[in-house]
Chains A and B, each alone.
Chain A
Amino acid sequence: IAGITQAPTSQILAAGRRMTLRCTQDMRHNAMYWYRQDLGLGLRLIHYSNTAGTTGKGEVPDGYSVSRANTDDFPLTLASAVPSQTSVYFCASSEQGNNEQFFGPGTRLTVL
């Protein structure tokens, strides 16, 4: 089934640990995004990629890094997790035109 998948579904992590959230899409979309969703703050863009090989910083990039080695995959890495990174993380992809974004099911991350 075409779409966008994320892994893991949820994770509890000790502060200071490194963590990579995975995101894969099979729609051949050029653009991909990582958001975090926090109560009362809506969705905030962490990083984005317009096309394979390029990435850019969003609204809240500190403490996160991304890579885009190919069209399908867009992993998000927390080098040294902190409790303020406890959130629900959504990956999304889109194509040009009306830029409808297709969202993955999310990863619920808790940093203790």
Chain B
Amino acid sequence: GEDVEQSLFLSVREGDSSVINCTYTDSSSTYLYWYKQEPGAGLQLLTYIFSNMDMKQDQRLTVLLNKKDKHLSLRIADTQTGDSAIYFCAELGSGGYQKVTFGTGTKLQVIP
């Protein structure tokens, strides 16, 4: 079945760039997503990329997709303490329904 993997933890200093990585197994993924979960809350969509794109930039966020290696990354420029959260990678597979598979989440800690 589909699998999405992420490292569990990342720590960066305020003002530095953060790069969160993700690998997935479903070669027929159509959309890949990054969700953000703040403490005590549900997930919120941060950004997404269509599978025929290599890169998407949205203000401080840059998403890179290497479809050959099935690797997705999220770069946050000028990381702020408010960026501290858990970030989930997810992919929309080719199942009989709109099946989205989530990774385990990467907890980003921003040190002031």
Which of A41, A90, A98 is within 8 Å of B48, CB to CB? A98
Q: Are B31 and A105 in contact (CB under 8 A)?
A: no
Could you tell me how many residues of chain B have their Cβ less than 8 Å away from some Cβ of chain A?
23
Q: Which residues of B contact A94 (CB under 8 A)?
A: 98
Which of B31, B97, B104 is within 8 Å of A98, CB to CB? B31
Q: Are A42 and B103 in contact (CB under 8 A)?
A: yes
Q: Which residues of B contact A99 (CB under 8 A)?
A: 31, 92, 98, 100
Q: Which residues of A contact B8 (CB under 8 A)?
A: 40
Q: Which residues of A contact B103 (CB under 8 A)?
A: 42
A70 within 8 A of B: no
Could you tell me how many residues of chain A have their Cβ less than 8 Å away from some Cβ of chain B?
23
Question: Which among B38-46, B52-60, B75-83 touches the partner chain?
Answer: B38-46
Q: Which residues of A contact B50 (CB under 8 A)?
A: 98
A62 within 8 A of B: no
Q: Which residues of A contact B24 (CB under 8 A)?
A: none
A7 and B97 CA atoms in complex are apart in Å by 26
What 10 A-B pairs come out closest when comparing CB atoms?
A103-B42, A42-B104, A43-B102, A103-B43, A99-B98, A100-B45, A42-B102, A50-B97, A99-B92, A105-B42
A residues adjacent to B (C-beta < 8 A) = 31, 35, 40-43, 45, 48, 50, 56, 90, 92, 94, 96, 98-106
24 A-B residue pairings within 8 Å (CB atoms)? A31-B97, A31-B98, A35-B102, A40-B8, A40-B104, A41-B104, A43-B102, A43-B105, A90-B43, A92-B42, A92-B43, A98-B31, A98-B92, A99-B31, A99-B98, A100-B45, A101-B35, A101-B45, A102-B45, A103-B42, A103-B43, A106-B40, A106-B41, A106-B42
Given contacts A105-B40, A105-B41, 20 further A-B contacts (CB under 8 A): A41-B104, A42-B4, A42-B103, A42-B104, A42-B105, A45-B99, A48-B97, A48-B99, A92-B43, A98-B48, A99-B92, A99-B98, A99-B100, A100-B48, A101-B45, A101-B100, A103-B43, A103-B44, A105-B42, A106-B42
